Structure 1
């Protein structure tokens, strides 16, 4: 009986360990609450993720400009997040949270769709429920979703604004790319845009000022 009981205990411990491992391997969902709420600060992040996983940093925001922010899990590419503060001196009030290439963080669409780095343009359009506007490629705001056109992704994040930036794969149709390049706005339903088959390379959640 003791042997059977011990075996049962070991099996239970093994099951718990397996569940814990599976849970740890599940990418995190990013939401505009808790440690990322409008009134969150550096202490909030440390309390949620641990002091060793929160690093002060100057965050690149484009065109060579860097501002005060924080990096979560700086040594773990899959769990890495970057954010900038509205109040950089007091390190409080998240302004924008960045999910960048290599990170496994994702946002949940209105029907629970998982939108992450690598998500196809078609999948994002489906989550939005309609075509949206996207800026042309090969400039500073290359492939940025400019306007959700009143779709579901426009109001799905509890006060935060969602922005997704798309890139195109190697070997994409050159003629289509030539037409889609530069500071111009296109529909995600544009035939050339669909031909190029863009995927998300950066996801941002931003609080308004």
Structure 2
């Protein structure tokens, strides 16, 4: 019995003198997750500005003149929009070359008269002939206007050749109106009248004679005759 107690005492003494077990290491605190700031959106790429298209005013002669070159015409209208055609002259005077801009578009078609003997010579005349044409001169004169509208724009009666021959309908006298070709004016305006589509030709003046727009005998002419052709040219040396 005494031996047992001694053994127990020794065991207790050994236990008391033994160092206490080291505490388990504390795991390191978890690092906070990094706060991510959303990247700023890159600005949308700015498209390169394109040159504004040339706005066509359709006013004649505009920047066209007798010295306008083929290269300048191609730059303005586009080479594919130019075509050479051949027209018949009046009263059997043969043919002559015409350079046509927008030949297949009635609204844009513009005919540039060239010299029959020298296509490289200056432009002789600018001409438009379609009632749908966008082209006009500085006064607003354009194909498709009625004779009554033409007289109102002129501010005076006009005299013209009768219809149905080579020079039929050509205005001969503006009677001092606003559209008269004044001496010294660098431009010459040529206007040819024609019968409105569907009009009764027999009710309109015809033949190689001159008629006035204010002649009461031709009461229907004001509405049944229209501008069929407008030509703009530059007087040659010695001409007014």
Shorter-chain TM-score tier: 0.7 to 0.9
What is the deviation of 1:87?
7.3
Which residue of structure 2 lines up, in the alignment, with residue 120 of structure 1? 146
What is the deviation of 1:72?
0.4
How many matched pairs? 182
Instruction: Give deviations 1:52-76, integer Å, cap 9, x for gaps.
Output: 1122232344345321230101122
- Consecutive unaligned residues in structure 1, runs of 5 or more: 1-5, 7-19
- Consecutive unaligned residues in structure 2, runs of 5 or more: 1-43, 45-52
Q: Does 1:56 align with 2:95?
A: no
Could you tell which deviates more after superposition, 61-70 or 120-129? 61-70
CA distance 1:69–1:122, change in 2 (3 Å): same
What is the deviation of 1:185?
0.5
- Residues 165 and 202, structure 1, Cα contact 8 Å, conserved in 2: yes
Q: Which structure has the bigger radius of gyration? A: 2
Between the two structures, name the one with larger relative contact order (CA 8 Å, sep ≥ 6): 1
2:193 to 159, 163, 166: 166
- Residues 173 and 195, structure 1, Cα contact 8 Å, conserved in 2: no
Say which structure is richer in helix.
1
Root mean square deviation, CA, Å: 3.0
Cα distance in 2 for residues equivalent to 1:48 and 1:173? 40
- Residues 30 and 107, structure 1, Cα contact 8 Å, conserved in 2: yes
TM-score when normalising by structure 1: 0.73
TM-score when normalising by structure 2: 0.65
Cα distance in 2 for residues equivalent to 1:41 and 1:122? 38
Which residue of structure 1 lines up, in the alignment, with residue 99 of structure 2? 70
